[in-house]
């Protein structure tokens, strides 16, 4: 049975908050995301303060800083501008770690053939995008998500809009993930 939270996107310019399934739908299994360096865990969002699995992930991966972010028109200053920035294709020099506590949204990542894969995150989903992967984020039609952001050390959220083929993080990503097949990962 295929995981039903990730799929190849259509090429439509319609509202980015829509699912954008191809016709017929092309679901993407977790193993394919793992080959791209994307890590995923399913956790209990109701008790995140006491979640031992979350604590173990943070400890093992060195995530010592955490904050919470509500993304909705009522709670996020400069909402429209920030959502537009989140949806602009970009990379980061560090991993992007997001844990969905409430609501839902989409992370879109590029695969090895430059196709968009849409990952639908909902309450309980923790996702890690590797440094250097082209990606973007948008809300779905619920127009609300509460995310926990995790960082190693002081939070750095600098995005580098595409193209960034010469950025060190992009070069390392290409070397580590797009030239290999079947990278073994500890998530799932």
- Give the residue ranges of the annotated binding site: 90, 92, 96, 135
CA dihedral over 152, 154, 159, 163, signed as positive or negative? negative
Q: Do residues 76 and 147 lie in contact, with contact meaning Cβ atoms separated by under 8 Å? A: no
3-state SS class at 35: helix
Q: Do residues 90 and 129 lie in contact, with contact meaning Cβ atoms separated by under 8 Å? A: no
Residues making up the annotated binding site for Fe(2+) are 90, 92, 96, 135
Q: Which two tokens stand for residue 24?
A: 């017929």
Q: What are the φ and ψ backbone dihedral angles of 63, each rounded to 5 degrees?
A: -85, 95
Which candidate, 102, 111, 122, places its Cα nearest to that of 42? 122
3-state SS class at 50: helix
Q: Which two tokens stand for residue 177?
A: 């993930």
3-state SS class at 165: coil
3-state SS class at 49: helix
Residues making up the annotated binding site for Ni(2+) are 90, 92, 96, 135
Q: Which two tokens stand for residue 60?
A: 């093992």
């Amino acid at each position: 049975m295929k995981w039903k939270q990730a799929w190849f996107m259509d090429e439509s310019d319609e509202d980015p908050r829509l699912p954008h399934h191809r016709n017929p739908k092309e679901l993407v299994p977790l193993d394919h995301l793992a080959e791209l360096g994307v890590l995923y865990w399913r956790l209990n969002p109701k008790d995140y303060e006491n979640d031992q699995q979350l604590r173990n992930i943070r400890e093992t991966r060195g995530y010592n800083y955490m904050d919470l972010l509500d993304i909705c028109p009522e709670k996020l200053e400069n909402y429209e501008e920030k959502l537009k920035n989140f949806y602009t294709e970009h990379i980061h020099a560090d991993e992007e770690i997001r844990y969905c506590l409430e609501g839902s949204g989409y992370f879109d990542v590029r695969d090895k053939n430059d196709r968009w894969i849409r990952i639908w995150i909902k309450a309980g989903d923790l996702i890690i995008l590797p440094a250097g992967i082209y990606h973007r984020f948008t809300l779905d039609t619920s127009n609300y998500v509460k995310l926990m952001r995790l960082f190693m050390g002081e939070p750095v959220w600098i995005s580098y809009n595409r193209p960034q083929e010469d950025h060190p993080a992009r070069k390392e990503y290409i070397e580590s993930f797009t030239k290999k097949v079947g990278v073994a990962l500890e998530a799932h």
